[in-house]
Structure 1
Amino acid sequence: MVDPDRVLVPTLGRPREDEALAYALETFPDADVTLLAVVTPLDAPLSEGGVLERSEERTARARASATDLLESVADPTATERIRVETADGRPGTVIPQYASTEGVDHVVMYGHGTDTSGFVRRILGRGIAATVVERTDEPVTVLE
């Protein structure tokens, strides 16, 4: 496998996403990395829940959270090859769409939901990572 030029690391504001970013930076030291803050719709089952917040406030909060994640993980010399973007929508749709339209070569993400009980997975549906793997043409590394 050839090392990718463009790597996508989606973030939903969930625990352990710092591991996905650290992995991407270490494994692909020459790649440009996009940290994509996905803002889940309020009516989605996995929404972060800001019911009274306006869309702009939720997007600004997601971008700030992703920027904080970047600053906590990345070496200051590496930040020149990392950009933070935001996208609104359901993660299982937005992430594959972004990867295909933005020329991403590889996706690295934490396996959201893999540590939940089978009961929770049945209620919420299958994990986001499984959906992304199925819908993305580019290689996807899922960390657990």
Structure 2
Amino acid sequence: MADPDHVLVVALGDPDDEDALAHALETFPEAAVTLLSVVAPLDQSVSEGRILERSETRLTEARDRADGLRTSAADPSRVTVETREGSPADLVPTYADRHGVDHVVVSGHDVSGIVRRLLGDGIPELIAERTGVPVTILQ
């Protein structure tokens, strides 16, 4: 299999998101990398341990976290940040199809208990099952 040209790193607000980004940059040194920061859907009653805030605020906070990850990366110039709202198991396959993604990297250490209850267990596995390109799940 040829090395990917475009790698998608899924950021779910997990402390291991930084490891997933570092893995993608190190493992695929020639690939463009997109860091996709996903926030909980609006129809949920709580998010990240608190009452849901306005959508714009939550998306801005997610983008700021992702920008922080990007700037802390070894080569931030290779990383583009995107922010989306919704279920990662639905968003990632669609994003990969529409944007020419060749490989996906996601942390296997599921997100916090609150977010897990909101989005469901086994998020990385669902992403792998539904995405039509190879998915690396970091443990």
Q: Which TM-score bucket, shorter chain as reference?
A: 0.7 to 0.9
In 2, the alpha carbon distance for the partners of 1:131 and 1:46 equals 22
Alignment of 1:5-16 (within 5 A): 5-16=5-16
Letter in 1 for 2:110: G
In 1, the alpha carbon distance for the partners of 2:34 and 2:18 equals 13
Larger radius of gyration: 1
Q: Which 4+ stretches in 1 moved above 3 angstroms?
A: 42-47, 121-126
Q: Is the 8 A contact 2:109 2:138 kept in 1?
A: no
Gaps of 5+ in 2: none
Say which of 105, 109, 124 aligns to 2:102.
Answer: 105
For the residue of structure 2 that corresponds to 1:8, the secondary structure is: strand
Structure 1 residue aligned with 2:87: 90
Q: Identify if the C-alpha distance between structure 1 residues 39 and 125 changes in structure 2 by more than 3 Å, giving closer, same or farther.
A: closer
For the residue of structure 1 that corresponds to 2:136, the secondary structure is: strand
Task: Supply the RMSD in Å over aligned alpha carbons.
Answer: 2.5
Structure 1 residue aligned with 2:62: 62
More deviation, 106-115/18-27: 106-115
* TM-score calculated relative to the size of structure 1: 0.84
Letter in 2 for 1:69: L
Gaps of 5+ in 1: none
> In percent, how many aligned pairs have the same letter?
54
Count of matched residue positions in the alignment of Structure 1 and Structure 2: 137
For the residue of structure 1 that corresponds to 2:51, the secondary structure is: coil
In 1, the alpha carbon distance for the partners of 2:40 and 2:112 equals 20
